Structure 1
Amino acid sequence: MRAQLPADRPVIVRFSQFKERAFDARVADTPAELGEILTAFADAGAGVLHASQRRFWQPAFAGSVLNLAGWAKRLTGLPSITVGSVGLTRDFLRPGRPESVSGLATRLADGEFDLVAVGRALLGNPAWATLAAAGRLAEIADYRKADEDVYP
């Protein structure tokens, strides 16, 4: 893929540390195992690693505060994207907790990862980013599993 794209377009590899309905499934049990996988992606031309985990605020491995995107960046030096329960409820937009927007912003400012993705929250709220940026929090509905049935 890298050879087929212009040099100014990154190859972004998304990987996950869990499966839906199997939250304990792991692609790697240790940072060393994760490093082997991610180094192969980097060597093949990946320019950005998009790390999906169930909850962005939870550590990827015992004994470390880094989430999966933090480990991806640490192990490869590549820019990383975090995602995992970002914005699922309006409570996310209220500061003060590790799982809130302020907790996420602190980790981003600390350089743990480089970008943040919003996923499931957009299913029920396609205008989520616009509403959040405008401070129109009352118009944002909490994510419901049924929102996934809206799109065929």
Structure 2
Amino acid sequence: VITTISKSIVTQTNGAHHNALERKRRDHIKDSFHSLRDSVPALQGEKVGKAQPASPPGTRCSGSHASRAQILDKATEYIQYMRRKNHTHQQDIDDLKRQNALLEQQGNKARRVHTNNTFRLLLTEQYSEVWGKFHICSLLIVANVLFGTYATHCYLNCYA
């Protein structure tokens, strides 16, 4: 008789433990659906309820309750929308990076041209009065070797 009673108590205890675990699992699923529902803009403020007729894509769920199926559908739509939006933003970022690189190259080229022209101008201005045309001609030849023919053209146009 004692053995039968103790088996019955063990069975009840195991059953109660199993029920508690199952209740905890259901509560976790319910909380997860609430969290998912609150993360989707089209569902914010809705309550989780029994299944209802499906609403058109991009609209709020009909009534004040959203079924779990509707929550999953709306979450899927929202994830797909955000993926498309992220892809578009990434393309914009890539385009801007290419534009920045091109502008940086153009800026570097402009700085080099400006530096070279400034050096040529300094050569012709600073040494023209001190060394005379003969020495200017020598400096311009050196400048041509370093920078190209621009300095000779300037000299020929200005001092010839």
Q: Normalised by the shorter chain, which TM-score bucket?
A: under 0.3
Question: Which of the pair is proportionally richer in helix?
Answer: 2
Question: Which of the pair is proportionally richer in strand?
Answer: 1
Higher relative contact order (CA 8 A, sep 6+): 1
Larger radius of gyration between Structure 1 and Structure 2? 2
